[in-house]
Structure 1
């Protein structure tokens, strides 16, 4: 789960990370009022969307008067911000963050992520802040500092000082940098985050170290331990198919293909998508319906997959252990009768009660294409999709 910049800054500030003064606004008038409350002569108005690259896309504006703030917000509210991370569909702007401008001396990149190879938290930092880390890695790889945190002891003072020295922090500011690093690590570990990114972390002209921008992502599976963080979710920034699936206890990731997948088990779902690609098709989604797939759950999965207008064929691939093939077959028959589908549906069942499941499909009288192996199912799904698409084009 991702959260907005202002929410990430609030969490980080609670762990001792210094941030500029700022306030949230839901209208141009409120934004101008927030600026007057903050005081000063210059303000930054930032669109609050779950995406990087906001500045290049017009989502960050420097303003020097109430009128400029109002005009900047007028150009943001209600429009879609399109960046390299949002894709062409963009993300809607419904709130902005007004922040007092600060005098910047230098910019630093700082990130905390899970490193799979070491199974530890890795700190990634660079003296070249203000750019995407991918761009830094390509143009200035020598500027990147990496440090692994040992979970048994956490981030130690000496380790934080080493990072500060590697970034060229002046001696008088090292303790501020140590406080920032330790605060970020505490926020990461105590809130079950999967990423903390500050880009840029700035050294100001008055010798302060401030988080000028902040992003945080969290492990969905751990949100039950953090209800206060779970409440920060903004579904307007998410793929509606994915948030719809999450509300129904289904694991779903939308893709750009044409063949919808309904599978039980994450590993089998990944294998199914790979096999579709191997057979010459493009999967439209990752969908894991889990271990207890009742007919009702299968029907929910079908409706979710079919909510994607790009889907032109559906492949159901079930290997029943805890599951039962007859339950899945009942769900398939139920939803096909209800929805009167006009696209091909391929079903491959294996495991518990597979004979009963096959019998239910055969006796339903519905045009279900059956398969015995995963490769056969993928090939039939791709073939049926291509034939159907050709017929529609003709």
Structure 2
């Protein structure tokens, strides 16, 4: 029968629901009489030699343009080569790719059929999975088309898909039980045993074996795979859930598949800051271990222990919203659940091997369940509670944030007034405490939600979900008022505030609208007949910059950006880095003296953390991203050297998509061209690591090359200390 399927308009500057009609085999996404269960699609993650795969964007993809931080038009030719090369590699490795889709075209590519629509591909090729290799501005339509065609497994690799597009996609996914989404912003999923790759994982790191990997970070998962190879373990499957704010598959989902997998004997879990996924995984592990006679060993790592609160640390979802747990809270939860915690991915192999052999892993950077934490800074940081609103925004410099658009307080309050939301101008009329009221996303349920707290502290907050399509019409206003500590008569006053905030959140594509509401007094009669009312005293909005940068929407919000006062030198450097596809964040520790240069957001966060564990202090976070060319390395050095605190530079590269020899040549080029006097320690592992190490060793320059992280970190700390004493 014909099903009326919600679609997302991609008309420039708009985000409006539209509808298309498609043959959905008797299924309707909106028939509430039919029970749908997205969890029932978990089984679709079980890929292997049997999995029939198609590519969306098979012949003309620009799927790697998000890695190169260029426009899709500029990068179309290179994207075509990369997509074709990826397909050739996957086919040669053993992946059963049966064809692909390119809208409006039909033919052949790589000797395989190309069809004009995913629905046609489903009818002719009968795939089990699709890899969506298109850029962010095309990805939403591609995911929608795959859901409508009921492809069992959908893998989306693109980063910077607008958040509200994903909210709509999740609202559809929840109403069906045919399709499972991996991503967005995912390296993909790979079965080493079944020789099936849907993604862009570096194949030299993956060989059939015993270890299952589930990860938010691509680069950390590659180094984990390489570590298991060096330990003679190999991998069964690696599930890259990705670094997006709202991934279609979670860490907990991946764990469930891996414990059921007969080829998986032990599991590596890789998490990071942002959201509750690791806490949910810990809860799941605790139940699993309590119900299983011989549970599979699990080791875990959490990136972002030393992340700057309020900053987006490379990945789209690597930031902490008010009320979300800190990275250290996640570490403690996983330890309590029975997972062994490590502080660097190179330790996964030895640790899991010891656990499989029945011995207790030990050594630096390893913290088995029930043991004291190994992290040096662990006892000096607030780990036991969620971040409050103030903590979450303590160090925010929104002008340089990729996802956030900074508005002045007066501009933010004017936006509220325009929607009829009461705003208090005279703070002297306050009659009670300030209370937290925010609209944001609940990453656990993949819904928008209201956050309410009777104080300004998010620790006492509670989340109230609402369906994206209803704009809060289903919210329990009396319960929200009660949690805010308001009396029953306040519901009528609260309703227009919440309604107006949700309208603003939806129409202008915010990821967070955080406000403080207060009680004020007003005279409705003109006869000194004062009544108590609710109003907003201050507002901290965060709008999704990806809506504009990826899809050309919300130009009016872009125009409201605060252009004054002039940005600081630090902000200027960070903004310049962002324009070149580099994420550079200066860390606030005044004692930070080691500059870091790393490829991959997860690995960059972990490098800062692991340096701290070894007794060092990083001066910056720097992720070169997938655009780690020789010229990018040179530019990265220039950025790091703008910080006078830096006495040594630590280059930590794992060669996946980024080749070790290319990075080594970039380091040598930069050292010579910049006439650097600061010592440089280079650690290169992964693809072409031996050639990269040879280039460094034979350069004749004062560069220090290592393959072991601990040795490299120790040398960097030593050189930084020497530089500090000399200065």
Same structural fold, with TM-score higher than 0.5 when normalized by the shorter chain: yes
RMSD (CA atoms): 2.8
CA distance in 2, matches of 1:222, 1:267: 24
CA distance in 1, matches of 2:709, 2:685: 10
Are 2:630 and 1:295 aligned?
yes
Instruction: Identify which of structures 1 and 2 has the higher relative contact order when contacts are C-alpha pairs closer than 8 Å and 6+ apart.
Output: 1
Contact 1:333 1:364 in 2 (8 A): yes
Q: Deviations over 1:187-222 (max 9, x none)?
A: 224433232122244433334533221111234444
Are 2:563 and 1:247 aligned?
no
Aligned length: 304
Number of the residue aligned with 1:215: 540
Are 2:454 and 1:133 aligned?
no
Deviates more, 1:245-254 or 1:165-174: 165-174
Contact 2:693 2:706 in 1 (8 A): no
The equivalent position to 1:7 in structure 2, one of 405, 411, 424, is: 411
Are 2:477 and 1:155 aligned?
no
CA distance in 2, matches of 1:362, 1:127: 61
Number of the residue aligned with 2:677: 342
The equivalent position to 2:559 in structure 1, one of 222, 226, 231, is: 231
CA distance in 2, matches of 1:169, 1:355: 66
The equivalent position to 1:104 in structure 2, one of 421, 427, 430, is: 430
Contact 1:202 1:212 in 2 (8 A): no
> More helix per residue: 1 or 2?
1
Number of the residue aligned with 1:191: 508
Superposition pairs of residues 255-266 of structure 1, within 5 angstroms: 255=587, 256=589, 257-266=592-601
Q: Deviations over 1:130-176 (max 9, x none)?
A: xx426xx5xxx5xx554233446442255234323544656665334
CA distance in 2, matches of 1:232, 1:247: 20
Superposition pairs of residues 170-185 of structure 1, within 5 angstroms: 174-185=491-502
CA distance in 2, matches of 1:307, 1:281: 20
CA distance in 1, matches of 2:671, 2:697: 13
Number of the residue aligned with 1:311: 646
| SS in structure 2 of the partner of residue 212 of structure 1 | strand
Contact 2:409 2:539 in 1 (8 A): yes
Gaps of 5+ in 1: 21-98
TM-score, scaled relative to structure 2 = 0.39
Distance 1:170 1:378, change over 3 A: same
Contact 1:113 1:121 in 2 (8 A): yes
CA distance in 2, matches of 1:293, 1:160: 50
Number of the residue aligned with 2:696: 361
Displacement of 1:349 in angstroms is 1.6
Contact 1:263 1:288 in 2 (8 A): yes
Distance 1:15 1:324, change over 3 A: farther
Contact 1:317 1:349 in 2 (8 A): yes
Contact 1:3 1:216 in 2 (8 A): yes
Contact 2:452 2:483 in 1 (8 A): no
CA distance in 1, matches of 2:447, 2:474: 18
Distance 1:373 1:151, change over 3 A: farther
CA distance in 2, matches of 1:167, 1:268: 40
Contact 1:108 1:200 in 2 (8 A): yes
TM-score, scaled relative to structure 1 = 0.68
CA distance in 2, matches of 1:113, 1:259: 36
Distance 1:178 1:153, change over 3 A: same
Contact 2:431 2:519 in 1 (8 A): yes
Contact 1:252 1:287 in 2 (8 A): yes
The equivalent position to 1:326 in structure 2, one of 657, 661, 666, is: 661
Distance 1:383 1:308, change over 3 A: same
Distance 1:167 1:291, change over 3 A: closer
Number of the residue aligned with 1:123: 450
Displacement of 1:314 in angstroms is 0.6
Are 2:706 and 1:371 aligned?
yes
Distance 1:111 1:290, change over 3 A: same
Contact 1:326 1:354 in 2 (8 A): yes
Number of the residue aligned with 2:423: 19
Gaps of 5+ in 2: 1-403, 524-530
